[in-house]
Amino acid sequence: MKYALLVFLGGGFGSVLRYLIGKLFQNSLGAFPIGTMIVNVAGSLLIGFFLGVNLKNGGLSETQTLLLVTGFCGGFTTFSAFAMENQVFLKSGDYVQFISYALGSLILGIAAVILGLILSKNF
């Protein structure tokens, strides 16, 4: 039960932060969902960093990993919103936005994980 509570708490904080960032960037680039892209890339950076710290020196306990990676990052990032926003682009025939958003999110997300791993080496 303790582990479920840690995931719940981390996920709640991550979800609220995702909501606030989404509101902050809402409509800032027209129809382009920059808020979702920001949280997904930032979440990828954090996951890479947390996992890199853990790989480097076992720096995170099981409870910290559940709170930060599974809970917070899981609640902060959002694949379902990403998928829905891409579906809207496809339905409207906006293929340039679809390709830009889908490929941009994928490339930047993977690059952010790698950057997080690199940054963790100096931690």
| Contact present, 82 and 36 (Cβ < 8 Å) | yes
Q: Say how many C-beta atoms besides its own lie within 10 A of residue 66's C-beta.
A: 22
Amino acid at 72: F
Of 57, 69, 94, nearest to 11 (Cα)? 69
pLDDT in tens, 17-63: 999 999 999 888 888 999 999 999 999 999 999 989 888 877 788 89
pLDDT in tens, 89-123: 999 999 999 999 999 999 999 999 999 999 998 87
> Vertex 86, ends 78 and 44: CA angle to 5°?
35
